[in-house]
Amino acid sequence: MTNSSTPPARLTPPVGGFQEISGRRVFAHRSGGGGPAVVFLAGAGAVGLDYFGVQQEVSRFTTAVVYDRGGTGYSDPLPLPRTAGAVAVELRELLRAMDIAAPYVLVPHSLGGLHAHRFTQLYPRDVAGLVWLDGLHRDWDEFMPPAVRLAETERGAPGPEQLERMRPALREMRAELLADYPDHVRQPLIDAHDSDGWIRVGSAERGALVELAAELRAGPDLPDVPVIALSVLAQDETRDGRRRMDAALVGAVTHGEQRTLSDTLHHRLCFDRPDAVVQAIRDVVDRVARPRTRHDHVPRTEGGRC
Report pLDDT digits (tens) over 168-191. Answer: 999 999 999 999 999 999 999 999
Residue 297's SS3 state is coil
71 vs 37, 77, 169, CA distance in Å? 24, 4, 24
Classify residue 214 by its DSSP letter: H
Q: Is the pLDDT of residue 124 over 70?
A: yes
- Tell me if 305 sits within 8 A of 279, measured CB to CB: no
Could you tell me if residue 300 is inside a domain? no
Q: What is the mean pLDDT of the chain?
A: 91
Could you tell me if residue 56 is inside a domain? yes
Beta bridge partners of 65: 30, 39
Q: How far, in Å, CA of 48 to CA of 50, rounded?
A: 5
Q: Which of 173, 128, 201, 147 is nearest to 268 (CA)?
A: 173
Could you tell me if residue 303 is inside a domain? no
Q: Is the pLDDT of residue 87 over 60?
A: yes
Q: Is the pLDDT of residue 163 over 90?
A: no
Rg (CA), the chain: 18
Could you tell me if residue 297 is inside a domain? no
Residue 240's SS3 state is helix
Q: Is the pLDDT of residue 25 over 70?
A: yes
Beta strand 64-67 pairing with 104-108: unpaired
Report pLDDT digits (tens) over 52-71. Answer: 999 999 999 999 999 999 99
Report pLDDT digits (tens) over 219-244. Answer: 999 999 999 999 999 878 899 999 99
Would you state the pLDDT for residue 292? 54
Could you tell me if residue 3 is inside a domain? no
Beta bridge partners of 26: 19
Quote the strand ranges of 50-126, DSSP E.
64-67, 104-108
- Residue 180 identity (one-letter amino acid): D
Would you state the pLDDT for residue 291? 56
- Structural domain of residue 28, as residue ranges? 8-289
Could you tell me if residue 298 is inside a domain? no
Please state the length of the chain. 306
What CATH number does residue 215 fall under? 3.40.50.1820
Instruction: Report the pLDDT averaged over residues 22-26.
Output: 96
Q: What percent of the chain has pLDDT above 70?
A: 92
Would you state the pLDDT for residue 1? 36
Could you tell me if residue 1 is inside a domain? no
Instruction: Report the pLDDT averaged over residues 210-219.
Output: 97
Would you state the pLDDT for residue 8? 42
Could you tell me if residue 28 is inside a domain? yes
Q: What is the pTM of this model?
A: 0.91
Domain total in the chain: 1
